[in-house]
Structure 1
Amino acid sequence: MPGLLLDTLNGKRGVRVPMWLMRQAGRYLPEYRALREEKGGFLDMAYDSEAACEITLQPIDRFGFDGAILFSDILIVPHAMGQHLEFLAGEGPKLSPTLIDATLDSLTSDPSRYEHIYQTVRLCRERLPEGVTMLGFAGSPWTVATYMVAGEGSRDQHDARALAYRDPGALQAIIDAIVAQTVEYLSGQIEAGAEAVQLFDSWAGSLAPDEFERWVIAPNAAITAAIRERHPDTPVIGFPKGAGEKLPAYARETGVKAVGVDETLDPAWVARELPAGMAVQGNLDPLLLLAGSAELEKRIRTILDTFADRPHVFNLGHGIDRRTPIEHVHRLIETVRGFEG
């Protein structure tokens, strides 16, 4: 039976607003920290299907969210494409060789790396409570490309943006390769049991409008069209963080079923500007959830009221902060579940 979250993503408004949180399986949970201490580094856990499944299910067991987001990372794709991937304490992920210093042709791909992720999805689908939607995901091509080009994250994505201006053909080749890989990767997740998938474009906000059209909208439209052709019943959520006024064009042109909205956007503007009937996901500020002030419940209710006339999945504007107190998450859940619009 489809769950409330899956129905909402497909455009139906139910008796209550479903919810899940980006990065809900992570470091703010003591059970996650205990397992990580036992198992080792992040990448080791992502490729350990039993551990990754346990982590995916931890927030479902604790909070009863309507969706379980796969525990993995957007950089699994470049790792499978042949870049070396490591997570360094205090520094974050590192890819090598960078595509400033090497070409795609010089990389030796290893698609078997995806199999660990597919097995995690299989295990989770077997163990999830009835009605909880299994969510897969991948990074969007622009965001993944920024890491592949520079070898690491940066505040302004300077290297990838400069390459786009200096040699757009070179960046286009990288984007096209990521699109092809992402279609196969998401298809594999869906075949393993993912019921919906999200495309994370964490660095979409760094691009000028015409560059946004080429490097964000066009690649995401290509992925969404391919997934729709192969898996017509599987909704795609697009999350172009920082898109700002470009969000309506993204919603219209990519073909996604639902749009994730970050915390910088006014919900009233989003409700007015997005296509009628399109599902919206978001958009509480993760730092407000961390702070847990008197403003928290007020803001939650404002978001719920504003999206009351369209399908709405309650979520954060980005990932939950690792310092977030558990009791604040409980307050969030109680407020959303107690809402009567």
Structure 2
Amino acid sequence: EMSLLLHLAVAVPLLLSALPIPRLDKVSQHWAQIGAHLLLGVLLTVYPSSLLAWTVDGDFKELHSFMQSYVGVFHIAIAASIYHHGMGKQGRPFLFARLLSSFFCLFTRLFAAYHLSEKSTRGLLISGEFVTSSLILDGAWLAAEIARFIREQETVDERLSVLCAETTRCAEGKNSSYLVNALYADAALSFCYALFHFAFPQNILKLVIKPSLDLDSHHYMWCRVFGALWLMPAIGSLTAVHASPALQLTHLIQRLVVQVGIFVLHIYGHWIINVFSPNHITAFMIAGFFMSFHISTFYRYKKAFASEPKSNISARVEIKKVK
């Protein structure tokens, strides 16, 4: 069946990108990871029924598809950030953030499977393939992130290089209090997003979705998955404060793609398919502000650390001399 093939087209490259397979070089693993997240993101954003229609019994309505688009944006952002970063190490704190998000995504879907299996559940029911889909997609993602987190160990030289580069920036007066505060602010707001969407999906959806549209447990599940994915930017921004400039830039690119994508989806949902109530205008304005904030942070970062590679090189040379 086509849905199963699409599931495997995402899961297999994800696993291959993280597992130590002798005949698979790093370039292939790098592109496999990008391709898997990009494919999953595009399918969830553009055509989610191709992946998930086989997991439900009942009508797969437009609102179900639309809510899954918000999840797809995060995977597109992961693919974009990995593509920009290249084949270097992705940073254990950022891997841990993805690991934690993938765990809660899997937990949420499996918990929903238990809840939706009850005969008294209203709305869209699950089919026998729901758990299979969850294990193939989110399970493979979690397994890949665990394997990648275990394999990626930071050496003493690499840690010293980061610390020396940070010291060099401080000595040269290149540290920007705005950028540091922006990362802390983003972490705080992201934690709030994660908490509210994961803990109070009914309250949020009833506030912003039109009363004429019936909400069911599937909508609440995808709202919780959306909240679980916010753990990535929350933990990432918190740890990016002391990360290397390359990892900071990678993180900012991921954040920028997420916020632009969410803002576009707000426009699409409010004015194109018309699923939001008038109360949604507040969420729309917050998303617009958040996007502007990240655009400003990204370009300030680019301006502040335009010459950063030279500082990194000098830092590594000093480490070698000390040895």
User: Could you state the TM-score of these two structures normalised by the residue count of structure 2?
Assistant: 0.26
User: Which gives a bigger RCO, structure 1 or 2 (Cα 8 Å, sep 6+)?
Assistant: 2
Instruction: Indicate the structure with greater helix content.
Output: 2
User: Could you state the TM-score of these two structures normalised by the residue count of structure 1?
Assistant: 0.26
- Considering only CA atoms, is the larger Rg found in Structure 1 or Structure 2? 2
Instruction: Indicate the structure with greater strand content.
Output: 1
